[in-house]
Chain A
Amino acid sequence: MHNILLSDTPLDIQQCIEWIRDTKSGGIDIFIGSVRDKTKDKEVVRLEFEAYESMAVGEMKKIADKSFSKWHLHKVLIHHRTGSLQPGEIPVIIAVSAAHRNDAFEACRFLIDTLKQTVPIWKKEVYVDGEVWVAAHP
C-alpha cells in the first residue's frame, strides 16, 4: 500500500505517522527533510520548489513500487512540497513500515536517495544577495 502526495500546502507529520502505523509492523522509519538556513557560508532566505506534477507523481509511485519489490514492506508514504518554503519548514516526508527494522531502514534510505535522483522536482535557493537552481551546473 502506498500514499503519494505532491502538495502546495504544509505537510502534516502527525497525519503521516498515523497513516503508517499498524499492528503488524515491528518497525517504522521516517525521514523528514527540513529547509536549512545556510548553504556553505550563504544565508538561505527561502527555497522555491517547482515540480512537473504529472511526472513527479508517476516517478514517486515508481520508486515506491520498486521499494516493495526490493524489501519486505507493509506501507510506503512519500509526501513532497511545492512552492516557497522558509528555513525550518518541511519539503519532504518519507515513511516506511515493515515487520522488521532492517527493511524499513534500508527502504527509507533508498526512497529519499532515489527521489533526489529521478523525481522531476527542482529547488531554487534564494539568498539575501542572489539565487541559484540547486544542482543545475557541475
Chain B
Amino acid sequence: MKIEIIAFGIAKEIFEGDKITVELNDGATIADLKSRLEDKYNDLKTLSSYMIAMDSEYASNGMKIIQGKEIAIIPPVSGG
C-alpha cells in the first residue's frame, strides 16, 4: 500500500518537502514505517525522538497502519 506522510518542523527539512510517499506491505505497523523511514532518511536517527500520528492521534509502535488515515511525522515538539 502507498502511504502519504505529512511532515512538520525539522522533519520537513530532512524529507526536503512537506510530504512524502512510501510503499509498505499491507498490515505494516508504525514500527515498520519508522524503520523504512530511517533507512531512507538517515538524519531521522539524529533527532532526540520522533512520533507518528494517525488521524491526529499519537500512534504506538505496535499499531497497524490503516490506509486512508492521515499519517504525520511528529519530531520533538517545542511549543510554549
Binding site for B on A (CB under 8 A): 33, 49-52, 54-56, 58, 80, 91-92, 112, 115-124, 133-138
Q: Is the Cβ of B9 less than 8 Å from the Cβ of A137?
A: no
Which interface residue of A56, A91, A124, A136 has the most chain B CB atoms within 10 A? A136
Query: Across the two chains, which residue of chain B brings its CB closest to A48?
Result: B9
Interface string of B17-57 (1 = CB under 8 A from A): 00000000000000000000000000000111000010011
Q: Are A137 and B48 in touch, CB under 8 angstroms?
A: yes
Contact B9 A50 (CB under 8 A): yes
Residues of B within 8 A of A116 (CB): 77-80
**Tally of B interface residues using CB under 8 Å:** 20
Q: Please name all residues of chain B whose beta carbon is closer than 8 Å to the beta carbon of A117 when the two chains form the complex.
A: 77
How close is A43's CB to chain B, nearest CB, in angstroms?
A: 19
* Closest residue on chain A to residue B46 by CB atoms: A137
Interface hub of B6, B74, B77 (most chain A Cβ within 10 A): B77
Q: Across the two chains, which residue of chain B brings its CB closest to A91?
A: B80
* Given A52-B74, A55-B56, A58-B56, A136-B9 contact (CB < 8 Å): yes
**Does B10 sit within 8 A of A, measured CB to CB?**
yes
B72 within 8 A of A: yes
Contact A92 B79 (CB under 8 A): yes
The docked-state distance in angstroms from the alpha carbon of A52 to that of B71 is: 12
Query: In whole Å, how far is B12's beta carbon from the nearest beta carbon of chain A?
Result: 9
Given contacts A33-B80, A136-B48, contact A55 B53 (CB under 8 A): yes
Q: Can you report 28 residue pairs joining A to B where beta carbons are below 8 Å apart?
A: A33-B80, A51-B8, A52-B8, A52-B72, A55-B56, A55-B74, A56-B79, A80-B79, A92-B79, A115-B80, A116-B77, A116-B78, A116-B79, A116-B80, A117-B77, A119-B79, A120-B74, A121-B79, A122-B8, A122-B75, A122-B77, A122-B78, A133-B10, A133-B13, A133-B75, A135-B78, A136-B9, A136-B75
